Structure 1
Amino acid sequence: MGLDLELQDIHVLVTGASGGIGLETVKLFLEQGAKVTAHYNSNSTSLHSLGSQFSSKQLFAAQSELTSVSSVESVFASAQAHFGLPVQILVVNHGIWPPQDTPIWEMELEQWKRTIDVNLTASFLVTKHFLRCLTKADVKDEDKAKANIVYVGSTAGRFGEKGHSDYAASKSALMYGLTLTLKNEIVKIAPQGRVNCVAPGWVRTPLAEDALRDPDVVYRALATTPLKKIATTYDTAMQVVLLSSTKVSGHVTGQIVNVAGGMEGRLLNKPDDI
């Protein structure tokens, strides 16, 4: 990335950093000279390649179960201890998407609770602790001015997703309830603090590859998308990094940036359904 986004030595925490979008986001931040705490839940294998390119002075991999209060507190404490400064930018990227298509009248309460716990409650806990740490942060005003949060939502949170009401509801809550509320709260702690959200549609990640081998899935994903392409992880990660930069997005807050090729909605019916 040739553009200097003035992120050098800024401490960034990226949740869900071992997945496709998270890994690309971490890489872009590192290339900008940021100090990155890369959170993972159970598998850090994908982070190893970055570890061979960037030193521990720039990259710190931290395991945490984000639905646990004590585990969230621990990851922030270890991140601050490692780099010697508090987290200044939080990217909330983790999440699960149960693959089975289940209408809500058939959905088990256990599935609903699990999706909400991971996607929404864990995001609440991470956000809460980030802002709590920010209230206690002993950093220069100009550093605190760069404090911001970027959530990774989904077009499912905007248009809904048949068979995935749990996922769609969790992403809507991030995109609208939290983003639009916290933009008004963060400024009580950091007067120039910002909160935004990036909402991708289908993204070509390792987890999506199997589904995208089905021509019908690709057709339904692109039927209302003018650009007629599946997003890359770079497409989404770049928007996350740009929004996090005070230099280029310093007067942007409370916004949802849809990275979905101009998608207008979801194709509900196949030809046989009509």
Structure 2
Amino acid sequence: MSIDLGLKNVHVLVTGAAGGIGLETVHIFRQLGARVTAHYNSKIGELASLSDIVSIQADVRDETGVQRLLDEASKKNGGPVSVLVVNHGIWPTNDAPIADMDLDQWSNTLAVNLTGPFLLCREYLRALRSASDAAKDAANIIFIGSTAGKFGEAGHGDYSATKSALMYGLTPTLKNEIVRIAPRGRVNTVSPGWVATPMATETLKDTAFVERAISTTPLQKVARPEDVARQIAVMASPVLSGHVSGMNVMVDGGMEGRLLFPPKSG
């Protein structure tokens, strides 16, 4: 039995779509018949070979660039965006406890992972004001959170702080604000744990690290990008999730916490 998720001809914008979860999300929405706009930062990658989508470059830290992204998406892909998937993000690979973290790193992580989503949501909601009733009926924002936002992550406080802000700050706030513009509009977060993406490749080569990372995870495995992308599609669907808003859905294999690393002396 096949289910129509109600996403045919719905305009979906996926940020950070050139690889990993973002690229897989683009593929899922294409298969569901959505009109997909794919955002990328610097490298277009596999998106260049997809003739049935609109690909647009933008620096999400830049106010003018984000305004242009939403404007071009509307002009090139049949009208204002209905579904905004805020997937982009950076995770600095260096282990930097707060006591040793450079201000430049902290500021840049917040600019990409938190200010970027703010700018995207602001421009999306502004454009939604003049959208058709059909576009408003499908309206929803889906943030990509992280287990780091729930449990924290030693050495990566900048990343965990931004993800927590999306999961527990913006999601419950915006689910109350979006309905002022689109009465059936929804806002949710999909929060994975470790996922086998290009961004995580080098880290996941460390077997001991992986064993620690999934030590409190009942399913005892690292997720694949499609595991997360499918959940994003479910949350976007007005058929399957039309009465779900303000939720943070963990896609983490049942993770219950983190093992603490041995404390360092000094």
TM-score (norm 1): 0.94
Distance in 2 between residues matched to 1:26 and 1:185, nearest whole Å: 27
Residue 128 of structure 1: aligned partner: 122
Q: C-alpha displacement at 1:164, in angstroms?
A: 0.4
Partner residue in 2 for 1:219: 211
Q: 1:264 Cα deviation (Å)?
A: 0.3
Please, which of 59, 63, 86 is the counterpart of residue 57 of structure 2? 63
Residue by residue over 1:150-192, the C-alpha shift from the partner in whole angstroms, topping out at 9 and shown as x without a partner, is 0000000000000000000000000010001000000000011
Once the two structures are TM-superposed, the CA of residue 100 in structure 1 deviates from its matched residue by 0.5
Q: Distance in 2 between matches of 1:272 and 1:191?
A: 52
CA distance in 1, matches of 2:264, 2:77: 57
Q: Which runs of 5+ in 1 are unaligned?
A: none
Gaps of 5+ in 2: none
CA distance in 2, matches of 1:18, 1:70: 21
Which residue of 176, 188, 201 maps to 1:184? 176
Whether 2:10 is the aligned partner of 1:10: answer yes
Equivalence for 1:205: 197
Q: Percent identity?
A: 54
The match for 1:167 is 159
- Establish whether residue 34 from structure 1 lines up as the match of residue 34 from structure 2: yes
Give the total of aligned pairs.
265
CA distance in 2, matches of 1:136, 1:192: 15
Alpha-carbon distance between aligned partners in 2 of 1:255 and 1:43, rounded to the nearest angstrom: 32
- SS in structure 1 at match of 2:199: coil
Report the alpha carbon displacement of residue 205 of structure 1 after superposing the two structures with TM.
Answer: 0.7
1:91 maps to: 85
Letter in 2 for 1:177: G
Separation of aligned partners in 2, 1:26 and 1:3: 19
Q: Shift of residue 45 of structure 1?
A: 1.3
TM-score, structure 2 length as denominator?
0.96
CA distance in 1 between partners of 2:253 and 2:260 (Å): 18
Q: Which amino acid in the other structure matches residue 18 of structure 1?
A: A
User: Is 1:246 aligned to residue 220 of structure 2?
Assistant: no
| 2:226 alignment partner, SS class | helix
**Structure 1 CA distance for aligned equivalents of residues 46 and 258 of structure 2:** 32
Alpha-carbon deviation of 1:239?
Answer: 0.6
- The equivalent position to 2:250 in structure 1, one of 251, 254, 258, is 258
Q: Which amino acid aligns with 2:140?
A: N
For the residue of structure 2 that corresponds to 1:119, the secondary structure is helix
Instruction: Tell me what 1:236 maps to.
Output: 228
Question: Helix, strand or coil: the match of 1:268?
Answer: coil
Distance in 1, matches of 2:69 and 2:261, equals: 45
